[in-house]
Amino acid sequence: MAERVVITATGIISALGTGKDTHISAIRNLRSGVNGVSLLKSVHAHEFLLGEIKKSNDDLAVIMGLPTGDNGYTRTTLLCLAAMNDLLQNTDITLLQNEPFAFINANTVGGMSKMEDIYMDVLTVGADERNNKYINTLDCAESTENVAAHYGLKPIMATISTACSSSSNSLILGARMIKQGLVKRAVCGGGDALSRFTLNGFYSLKNVDKMPCKPFDQNRGGLNLGEASGFCLLESESSAKARGANIIAVLSGYANTNDAYHPTAPSPTGEGARRTMQQALDMAGLKTTDIGYINAHGTATQNNDLSEGLAIQTLFGTNAPHFSSTKPYTGHTLAAAGVIEAIFSMWAMEERIVIPNLNFETQMEELSIKPVSGLLENVTIDHVLSNSFGFGGSNVSLIFSKA
């Protein structure tokens, strides 16, 4: 039997702050990071609420010891650096220097947050040459290569982009590489910075709520966008134990499937989501009753929550485990959503809490189940399931179990 894959460190930055303590404190105090806009320069800035990280690019550069101003780093890269920096607070970097490891990153629009500001300029004859250093930042691989280079690391690298399931796929790829014995360790995750491009994209799809989002609520009106980055250190169980590492959780099951239904909408019956969760359970060798908490994708769009809610109800029955969407805390952080919610899921198990689905008020008519609306403490959770679903019919479920 292939070796188990465990998680031994996490790194995270979101609208709730940086690192575990800040996040757990915000979660316990029901403090949402979704607020008015102060950094994104959009004509709609005053109309929307965003899960914006209230640190400017210069603030982030200072934290990382980088020059401020036009330093060639996009916000996407800076957020990834901040998350990696958090991970390395609790991880000996020599683990990543002395043996081959994989670095699997993910994002949806590369350095669009910078490119959208300079695009018309770089098209013009005689354009400002100082912008040339940003030209390749539209590549999704830019942040991956820059983070590795910043720490002088030479990992096997990959960058994934499957819309809102992207960084969940990073964890799957890293786990598969470890199981096949290609590497002992893999740093897996992703990051997305807010951009006008993405905000207007979802706005033009009429998927954005101008009020705080209400996942799984009858009166939900769409998503709030956010930005974040997160990474997990995945490791073979034997190498984690050999070095006496603190094992946060076991990645016991995962599945990647496709709806094969519609470019942007999930199948209304939730068939695709149900199949994905079932396959992850099968891999983990678990029954539905083993799952103590589901961190749902729960974007608060009409389509997702109906489809995902029906999928949970069909698979788990009307006596479904505690479930919630944590997007009212962070906003929908797109490519980062998978990994930061995977981290939240592991923390829920560690801290013995069920994270509430903020803003929930009204039961959905189509469902007989409803999300957990208040914080639950002292809950024994042995297995958690985390869902991420994206455009292109891309579905991913991850299951974490107690070590």
Partner 1 sequence: MRQPLYILSACSISPQHSYDAENFLNPVVTTDDGKLRITAPDYSKYISPVAIRRMSRMLKAGITAGMKSLEMGGVTTPDAIIIGTARGSVTDMETFLKDMINLQEEALNPTGFIQSTYNSVNGWLAMMTRSTCYNQTYVHRGFSLELCLFDAQLMLSESQDKKYILAGGFDELTDEYVIIRGRIGYYKEQKLNSLSLLSHNDTSGSVAGEGAHFFTLSNNPENAACAIHTVQMLLKPTSEAVQAAIADMLAQNELQKEDIDVIMCGMNGDSRSQFLVDPVVNDCHEHTTITTFKQLSGEYDTASGFGLWLVNYLFTQKRIPEEIVYKKGTSTRIKNVLLFNVTILGNVTLMLMTTPPARP
> What is the contact surface with partner 1 in residues (CB under 8 A)?
42-44, 108, 110, 112, 115-116, 119-120, 122-123, 127, 132, 135-136, 138-141, 144-145, 154, 156-163, 169, 173, 176-177, 179-180, 182, 196-197, 200-201, 203-205, 256-264, 272, 275, 390-394
d(CA 164, CA 265): 13
Cβ-contact 258, 394 below 8 angstroms: yes
Q: What is the DSSP string of 343-381?
A: HHHHHHHHHT-B---TT--S--TT-S-----S-B-S---
- Smaller CB distance to partner 1: residue 176 or 402? 176
CB of 21 to partner 1, least distance (A): 33
CB of 333 to partner 1, least distance (A): 16
Is residue 332 flagged as an active site residue? Answer: yes
CB of 199 to partner 1, least distance (A): 8
CB of 125 to partner 1, least distance (A): 9
Is residue 150 flagged as an active site residue? Answer: no
- Smaller CB distance to partner 1: residue 201 or 221? 201
Q: Per DSSP, which regions of 47-206 are E strands?
A: 49-50, 101-106, 156-160, 185-192
Residue 165 CA to its chain's centroid (Å): 8
d(CA 290, CA 399): 11
d(CA 8, CA 20): 13
CB of 218 to partner 1, least distance (A): 26
DSSP for residue 334: G
- Smaller CB distance to partner 1: residue 153 or 379? 153
Pairing between β-strand 249-258 and β-strand 228-236 as defined by DSSP bridges: unpaired
Pick the catalytic residue: 23, 297, 322, 383? 297
- Smaller CB distance to partner 1: residue 254 or 293? 254
- Smaller CB distance to partner 1: residue 119 or 246? 119
CB of 274 to partner 1, least distance (A): 11
Pick the catalytic residue: 23, 140, 188, 332? 332
Helix, strand or coil for residue 81? helix
Cβ-contact 161, 390 below 8 angstroms: no
d(CA 320, CA 191): 31
Pick the catalytic residue: 164, 188, 213, 232? 164
CB of 235 to partner 1, least distance (A): 18
- Smaller CB distance to partner 1: residue 21 or 120? 120
Which residues are paired to 253 by β-bridges? Answer: 399
Q: What is the dihedral of CA 153, 155, 160, 166, to 10 degrees?
A: -70
b (16+ CB within 10 A) / e for 323-361: bbbbbbbbbbbbbbbbbbbbbbbbbbbbbebbbbbbbbe
Is residue 297 flagged as an active site residue? Answer: yes
Q: Which H or E element spans position 272? A: helix 271-284
- Smaller CB distance to partner 1: residue 52 or 116? 116
Catalytic residues: 164, 297, 332
